[in-house]
Each structure stands twice: as structure tokens, then as C-alpha cells.
Structure 1
């Protein structure tokens, strides 16, 4: 089996991306390629392996996107958008007391100015 070497235009066509996108990703090491003199060259088999790896990573991510637990602790996470927790005056007073802060509490305004 012969190894085929592609120029940037051919590699971009193989990957179905714009040549400028190819060059940006090759410079950062995302896409396998190397400079020979002033020209970039790409090994076709490595580009195919890159496509396969991208395809497999999308499949594995698609299966886990619906999970609601945190991967590092297996704890449940908040829905996207952050917490809906709104502190009460009593909770803020206890918190400030525990920290040794003055007990007068003014709830923050939800309006932005």
C-alpha cells in the first residue's frame, strides 16, 4: 500500500473544510500535517484516521450529553442556566452572623442598571 501525500488544497477537499480552516488547525496541531520548506503537506492515511477519531468522539459524546451527573464526582448538576437559589433574609442574616458581619441585610436587586 502506498502512502499518498496531499497538498493543502487536496487535504482541505478530503476533509470538506475551507483551506484556511485547514491551515489554522494544522498550525495548532489539531489536524496532522507538517511543513516541508515553505509548503504544508498532509499524509492521506493520517487525515482519514483524524476523521475516524472525530467521528468516534462525536458518537461517544452524543451518548453522554443527556447525563445530568457530574463526571468527576457523580453528583447531580444544576440544569443549564445556573442555580435558581434565591437567598432569604433569614439565611443571609445567619450567614452574616457566622462570618461576624453586621446583621443588617439588604437583598440584592434583581434589576440591572
Structure 2
């Protein structure tokens, strides 16, 4: 079982991003400490692999890398690509559905885990 799961919509969006960036080899997910709640997701298109990154191949051959220091926080996350109308405008964006998430700050930037 993979550490994270990506929906078909997320894979299609990420593969489109990869096609636009010369030399890209995959998608990397990590977290950083930030904001009022503690953690924020850091999704990246990458051109080189960090030696200790965890790796798996998702649907359609997408290479996905996870920062090993972020593994416990992102384990079980589902990444989707959806239309978001929360601010009154229809914008598409990646969303992270984390079963370990306990709270999310009011602005939506950061979260805490159980």
C-alpha cells in the first residue's frame, strides 16, 4: 500500500504540471512547520530526487516521492484536484484529505495532527 493516494484528477493535473517544466521527473510531497496550527503541505514538481525520499509509482506512471521526515504526518493522505468555490470564485486546486488531521486553521493554510 502506498503512503499517499492520488485521485485520477490529481494525477492528470500533476502530469500536466510536469509536462510544462523542463527536466521534471516527478511529484514530491513534504510538510513544513508554519502558520497558526503547525503544519502545511508542500507539494513540488521535482527535477532531482533527494537520496532518502520514499518512492512509488502512482496511476499512469506518475513517480511520487515523499519526504521521509513527513511520512508519519502524511501517511493515509488522499490528494484530489477539485473546483473550490469557498471564496466565491471557481478555482481548481489540489486538496489534501488527511485522516490524521485534527484541526485546520481558519485561513486553511495549516493544520494539526492527532
Greater share of helix: 1
Larger radius of gyration: 1
Q: Which has the higher contact order (CA 8 A, sep 6+)?
A: 2
Q: TM-score, normalised by structure 2?
A: 0.22
**TM-score using structure 1 length:** 0.22
